[in-house]
Structures are given as structure tokens and as C-alpha cells.
A and B are shown apart, each in its own frame.
Chain A
């Protein structure tokens, strides 16, 4: 069964360093998302991406964050200068392009990357 994969599973970095989190969405999916979950808190939406551009972003997704689809398979989240409060699980998700009337396009989530900022 196709699945979303994410690398690395765990990333440790120093405050102020840049990190790139990588995701390989399911191959025929065209909508891509990043979410994060700070320990003990809810899953929060960061950004959605469709047709090679950001379609929606949250207030968390400030200028320190960027997303890219550098090739036909990868979808990356870059944090330019990490802060302690960026420590969280980061989940990538993807969904099909088919718009089905009255049916939600199921989002398939990856296993997450645990980011620890020291």
C-alpha cells in the first residue's frame, strides 16, 4: 500500500541552525501539507501546497519557514534559523487531486520527523 515517507525520523540541531525536513508524498497525490505537534499539544496546520505554490498557510508559518517541491517526488520544509520553540513532531501529508462532491479528500500522513532544537 502506498505511503507517505519522511526523513529523517529524528533531527537534533542547535538553535539558529537551518534544518530541512524531507517528505515523499504518495506518487499520484497533488495536494501536500505540513503539520506539527508540539509535545503534549494538538496537531497544528502549517502550510498546504498545490500546483507548485502555497495554497494556504497558518500564522505559525512565518518568514523562517519555506516549502519546496524540488523534483517530482520530494516535498521539503525548511526552517531557516531554528528556535527552541520549533521543537516538535513535524508531519507531512498528501491527498489526491480528485474533487469528490460531499466527500473529504483523505489526507495520508507520514510517520513524522521529531525535531529537537538545543
Chain B
């Protein structure tokens, strides 16, 4: 069983950045990727991007390109998602999830609420 534990809720000002962490409790990412999905209040799931730590490769959704940076520290089994130039529409719960080689999201973090407000 893999547990992904995310950092706590954040309140940010428009124009600032937020960095959310996701730690794998079992201590390793193995050869899986860690991806980030966000969900605005009352809305659906929106894939943002992901990283495969073993190969140090990243992939981002086109609409977030240039604003999102996903990194990973294998020594601490922690992945990070940083979103910059925040606006009110970025208010959402951000989830990390482990993705199997077949592309399904089998383990999820508990979610981190990011609120962007003046």
C-alpha cells in the first residue's frame, strides 16, 4: 500500500506563487510517475502535469505550460508542484497521484486546498 501525504492548505495573493508537496510514505517512487490534478470548487478533475523521478522527465498540460513546475526529490520521496502568477481562478483543491505504467491513477494524496484571494 502506498500513501501520498500532501502539505497543508494555503492562502495566496493574486500574482504570487504556491508550492505544494507530496510525500510517498513507503519511501520510494519506484519507476512510477507522480502527477498533479486540480479540482475547482464544484467542478471536475483537471490534469496539470507529472514527473517520472527515475528518468527525471516531466510533462505539462498545454494550458498550464509556463506557469507550473513539477519537481521531485528522490532522496526524500517527495514531489512538488509550483504554480506561479496565481489568479482567483486557480482556487482549487490540488491532488497528487501515483500513475501506473498503464496510465491509471492508483494512489492519491488527500488533496491541498489553495485559495487565491486579496
- Is the pairing of A and B real? no
Binding site for B on A (CB under 8 A): none
Binding site for A on B (CB under 8 A): none
